[in-house]
Structure 1
Amino acid sequence: MSQDGTGVDLDRSLGYLLKEASSALRIAMEEVLRPLGMSVTHYSCLELLAQRPGLSNSELARGAFVTRQSMNVLLQALERDGYVTRPAAAPVGKALPARLTPRGRRSLAKASAAVRSVEVRMLAGMTEADRSEAFRLLRSMVHSLRDGS
């Protein structure tokens, strides 16, 4: 409870702190990606396609934490600008698998370096043991929430 007894004490809420950290990370990433003409979602889409070529719009949307509609708009723009390619017709079902073009790969390389600089800054005050423990704890939290335990 907060000091006035009306709700959660934000200074002691891990959920609030995680949201604050997430927001600060997103802002820092947007700052380094903006000069490259990218948003965090744009970067996430390219990164997902580099790691798993051929993902569909729905799979990319889930991976980037956006709606299918938002991802579809982004994919159309990325395709128009030559960063990704998709077949004219779906090979199976309705999904149009997307793949990075050489231009998309070059753009991703610049963005990845920029994002890595943000991560290095975020972890600067931590030892290797601290970083390992942070990863372990965060993975455990995600696992607990996804499994409903």
Structure 2
Amino acid sequence: MLKQAQSALRSRMDHDLRPLGLTVPQYACLELLRTESLTSAELARGMFVTAQSMNGVVQSLQERGLVARADTAPSGRRRPAALTETGRELLAEADTRVRRIEAQMIGALDPEGADQMVDGLAVIATTLRRDDRG
């Protein structure tokens, strides 16, 4: 059921973000850049994708003027990406759409059901993290 809910959420986000010219991965990238500049490798770890895939996402956002990266690295090869003002404005519009979807999801549950769902997901996450450590 979790996978079905995730798939439905992804489909709905794709639909609602499309008029803004954004994909879900692009939106997630902008969201990660909201508070700090990050390299493609850092973004990739945050989104559970390869660095090569993330580089394509960042490049497409850069071409649209939504993120900026220095032409040369200040040190080593690291060229962190940062949101531009245009990127912040588009992210604000995308956030409005995503928050509306979230409100619809939560609104389908009564308050007790919503609390139980959140608690259940927290237990699942804790259990999986604990099992991951061996």
> TM-score, normalising length from structure 1?
0.82
Alpha-carbon displacement from aligned partner over 1:50-87 (angstroms, at most 9, x marks no partner)? 03x11111111122232211110111111121100111
Alpha-carbon displacement from aligned partner over 1:17-63 (angstroms, at most 9, x marks no partner)? 11111101100111100111111100000001003x11111111122
RMSD: 1.5
Q: Provide the identity percentage.
A: 43
Name the aligned partner's letter for residue 21 of structure 2.
Answer: G
Give, in angstroms, the shift of residue 134 of structure 1.
1.7
Quick one: distance in 1 between partners of 2:39 and 2:123? Answer: 28
From 18, 21, 34, give the equivalent of 2:18: 34
- What runs of 5+ residues in structure 1 fail to find an aligned partner? 1-16
Alpha-carbon displacement from aligned partner over 1:92-124 (angstroms, at most 9, x marks no partner)? 332211110000000000100111111111111
Over 3 Å counting, the alpha-carbon distance change for 1:82 and 1:146 in structure 2 is same
Over 3 Å counting, the alpha-carbon distance change for 1:128 and 1:93 in structure 2 is farther
Which structure is larger by alpha-carbon Rg, 1 or 2? 1
Quick one: distance in 2 between partners of 1:126 and 1:145? Answer: 25
Quick one: distance in 2 between partners of 1:123 and 1:145? Answer: 24
Structure 1 residue aligned with 2:57: 74
Quick one: distance in 2 between partners of 1:92 and 1:126? Answer: 50
TM superposition outliers: structure 1 runs of 4+ over 3 Å:
none
